[in-house]
Structure 1
């Protein structure tokens, strides 16, 4: 069964319309919704000009690996917060810029990145700390559907 935790993911970038059904199937697998207590995700109701925000509750480890993998495969930037489970794992924030590796950070239950004092003290210059803090933030662009259906 595993320990259960909530998740909130914000996704942006350009996705060919033909891949939307696959994405929606992954979202349905995790019972992701457009707000904490709303209806399940409906791809027909995508907001124009905004990133897609999805929420899930009671997910194993607070993880949605099929969604993460889909976004990475299709170059979709995302910011995912996963809640923690007391005695099992801490909350985390995972960032993906659309290419490269995902970056993960320890987080609070209210979706803020947390840096331990030992990590902060390791910086010798304030500007280096500020750069690291800025790197832990990511502005997610709107999710845009491209073209028609794929063959």
Structure 2
């Protein structure tokens, strides 16, 4: 049996209209929502000028595997959080920024990064520990799609 947990992902970067259409299919395949326990994501839920955060419960292993692979292949930055599965695995945050490999961080049930004593000893200084936390706490840029009217404030918020 597959472990299933709650998870969310925040996406950003610039996409062509064609890539956005493919992204919409991946989002639908994962049954993602712009709100916890909300209705299925619809393109009108996206707010131009902001990153796109999506949520789901009962996510296999807490990963959006096809979506994450696609983001990496297209250099679409993302940060994903997944909750812990009791007795099996802890929560985690995964961060992908352009040109990097995804970085994995232990996280608690409210998406706060946590470290162990062994990690503190490995990092060796408060500066290194704070840098570790900073690396996990990236700001994902807005999700921009070709054709967005960037001169208009007050985006569609339906």
- Pair in the same fold by TM > 0.5: yes
Structure 2: segments with no counterpart, 5+ residues: 149-158
What is residue 16 of structure 2 aligned with on the other side?
16
Inter-partner Cα distance in structure 1 for 2:106 and 2:87? 15
Q: CA deviation at 1:128?
A: 2.1
TM-score when normalising by structure 2: 0.87
Inter-partner Cα distance in structure 2 for 1:44 and 1:74? 23
1:54-112 superposed Cα distances (whole Å, 9 cap, x missing partner): 00110111111011011111111111001111111111100001221000011101111
2:59 partner SS: strand
Q: CA deviation at 1:44?
A: 3.5
Structure 1: segments with no counterpart, 5+ residues: none
TM-score when normalising by structure 1: 0.91
Q: How does 1:30-69 map to 2 (within 5 A)?
A: 30-69=30-69
- In the alignment of these two chains, the number of paired residues is 148
What is residue 120 of structure 2 aligned with on the other side?
120
In structure 2, the CA distance between the partners of 1:44 and 1:18, relative to structure 1 (3 Å rule), is farther
What is residue 154 of structure 2 aligned with on the other side?
none
Q: CA deviation at 1:117?
A: 1.4
CA RMSD of aligned residues (A): 1.5
